[in-house]
A and B are shown apart, each in its own frame.
Chain A
Amino acid sequence: MAGEPLLKIQGVETYYGNIRALSGVDVEVNKGEIVSLIGANGAGKSTLMMTICGSPQARSGQVIFDGEDITKLPTHIIARRRIAQSPEGRRIFPRMTVFENLQMGANLDNLKYFKEDVEKIFVMFPRLKERQSQRGGTLSGGEQQMLSIGRALMSRPKLLLLDEPSLGLAPLIVKGIFEAIKMLNKEEGLTVFLVEQNAFAALKLSDRAYVMVNGKVTMSGSGKELLSNPEVRAAYLEGGRH
């Protein structure tokens, strides 16, 4: 795809105290793409997702979004640039209803498009409609995942960051969620950057992918290329599919 990428991460290093979690990461995500990031536990995938949102901020390197350097912006300002995240652990507000959680997602526009958008979310995830007046903390894991994605979508994002949308979910629900992501990408041109442990499904879904090991990107390529790459197969696919 021509032109500037929507998200450009250059030489980003992030620390937790004195521990380096990311050591010089370069990643690009173009408009309209689905890009995935795969890797083992503790490789720094979630840290990269949070670094994009400025929490924690990168100690060195740059995060450029839509031509603007957002590396040192506070988290809530980055959110207002329309980067939405469904973070690790889902982070549903437990003592707010499903409906209120969705309203929180639409805060940026003061609920201007709320009615219209919430209907879309309810079509995509009918379970949320049934549970709309229930407290977030009482939902099952799968329902919380749907809510987390729905809440992120309510802000009409330019870039959607998904951290392990399949974690702990039944295969059928995972399939549903991945289909929803694909549909949003095809029909609305939504750009998606996702982290997945379920490498096989992620690579099949993605236009391009990066492999992360110990805080560094070690490989990248199209989803197809990585699926057929023997190293990737050995490390992330065959080992994980018993």
Chain B
Amino acid sequence: MRKMGRTIQEMRPHRRTASRGKQMDYFVQQLINGLTLGSIYGLIAIGYTMVYGIIGMINFAHGDIFMLGGFAALIVFLVLTSLFAGIPVALLLLVMILVGMLVTGLWNWTIERIAYRPLRGSFRLAPLITAIGMSITLSNFIQVTQGPRNKPIPQLVTDVYHFGDITIALKQIVIVVLTAVLLAAFWYIVNKTPLGRAQRATEQDRKMAALLGVDVDRTISVTFIMGAALAAVAGAMYLMYYGVSSFTDGFTPGVKAFTAAVLGGIGSLPGAVIGGLLIGLIESLWSAYFSIEYKDVATFAILAIVLIFKPTGLLGRPEVEKV
């Protein structure tokens, strides 16, 4: 992730000469940057954690779903800006996100239907390996059809606000607020609607859910589509934030988001969000105070340490339950 490194380096003031107040500002600045990045990780992590919760499998293609969301947004951007020169940015972003959701939802639904569902009930490694295959398929497909080079777009949202020495970009606010709104909506769906109840019932006892009239296959499909839709939002936000897309984008952020899900406790929705924010913060703060080169090492080292002391992650529950 060279792009991220660059952004942070540009913002890095001369720390040695800074006063205590400046140091505080610098810290707050890094918190804001970390929060932004963490929101994106959190949105992706939810897809990992939900699919794991409902069918007990890691959808390794999920990172590439996020990348696909970014590319869909990129193509929509290119088409709309060439057709309608003066299109308002908010409308542009909205269409980018919605089309991305549609494309990723369709893709994730399809792979669940043709690649994962036939393997349900076979040994645990089979769907896992298939998921890795799906991941490679999708990133190669994008590489072949869209070209291997980075695709830049101009800055979409350029406004920045200054609070003393702290700079907050409007695009950061957009990302954090959008994430918060989506999480609230998501929380509501999972906890308060019949669909969410059916999802939780399927997660806890698939056979009993079917005995109560829940269409288990459909519920699982919907879960894949929901996860993909959030990843698409993350993909569009990532494109807006960094202004560039690449077919390899699925890998590093995908693995980071997966790490976030594991760190928070895989299967737990709040865990995924907290894990995402933590990873974002660790990355930003480590880059700011230690070395950018080792930020990924730091992230994974912290994951390893947490898992040693709390193998189920921060909010995970132990596998065995009294029933």
Q: Which single member of A91, A110, A137 contacts B321 (CB below 8 Å)?
A: A137
* B213 is an interface residue with CB less than 8 A from chain A: yes
| Residue B155, interface by CB 8 Å | no
The bracket for how many chain B residues form the interface is 20 to 34
1/0 per residue, CB under 8 A from B, across A72-107: the answer is: 001110011000110101011111100010011101
Contacts of A79 in B (CB 8 A): 210-213
Q: Which residues of A have CB within 8 Å of B198?
A: 104, 107
A95 in contact with B200 given A55-B207, A107-B194, A137-B323 (CB within 8 Å): yes
List residues of chain B with CB within 8 A of the CB of A137: 321-323
8 Å CB interface, B188-204 against A: 194, 197-198, 200-201, 204
Complex CA–CA separation, A104 to B197 (angstroms): 7
Most buried by A among B205, B211, B216: B211
**Does any Cβ of B come within 8 Å of A201's Cβ?**
no
Instruction: Decide yes or no whether A237 CB sits under 8 A from chain B.
Output: no
With known contacts A93-B205, A94-B323, A111-B194, A87–B200 Cβ distance under 8 A = no
Is A155 an interface residue when CB atoms closer than 8 A count as contact? yes
Closest residue of chain A to B323, judged by CB? A94
B55 within 8 A of A: no
* Chain B residues within 8 Å of A194, by CB: none
Q: Chain B contacts of A84 at CB under 8 A?
A: 211-212
Q: Are B200 and A80 in contact (CB under 8 A)?
A: no
Q: Counting chain B CB atoms within 10 Å of each CB, which of A74, A79, A87 scores highest?
A: A79
Is A108 located at the chain interface by the 8 A CB criterion?
yes
A8 within 8 A of B: no
**Residues A76 and B204 in contact, CB atoms below 8 Å apart:** no
Given the complex, which residues of A lie within 8 Å of B201, measured CB to CB? 93, 96, 104
- A residues contacting B by CB (< 8 A) are 53, 55, 74-76, 79-80, 84-85, 87, 89, 91-96, 100, 103-105, 107-108, 110-111, 137, 151, 155
A–B complex contacts, Cβ < 8 Å, 17 sampled: A75-B210, A76-B213, A76-B214, A79-B210, A84-B211, A85-B211, A91-B205, A91-B211, A94-B323, A96-B201, A100-B200, A104-B197, A104-B212, A104-B214, A107-B213, A108-B213, A155-B213
